[in-house]
Amino acid sequence: MAVRPSGKPAPPQPARHRALEIIAAHPDGCTEAILAGQNIPADVLIELVQSGLVMARNERIDDEYGAVEVTRLWITAEGVLVLAARM
């Protein structure tokens, strides 16, 4: 298993691949909540963003019940290439 500079082990490759597949399936952006519902840990998402395979944006959504912050993720062109290479 690969080890990060922080000393923590890197997430397993299948989790990264599955996360990329899920994110790619949402062209309008995939929320962190959708990924959490699929048991994708936050550290996998952080690694994908830091490696440039995914981009993330925090959004504030207001409605009659109040406001909530959501994180929406999109696959990058590099992420698409990595995903295509694994298929």
The more confidently predicted of residues 61 and 86 is 61
Q: Distance (Å, rounded) from C-alpha 2 to C-alpha 64?
A: 46
Going from N- to C-terminal start, the domains of the chain cover 13-85
> Can you give the pLDDT at residue 18?
95
Q: Residue 23: which H helix or E strand, with range? A: helix 13-24
- Per residue in 23-79, pLDDT tens? 999 999 999 999 999 999 999 999 999 999 999 999 999 989 999 999 999 999 999
Confidence of residue 7 (pLDDT cuts 50, 70, 90): low
CATH topology of domain 13-85: Arc Repressor Mutant, subunit A (1.10.10)
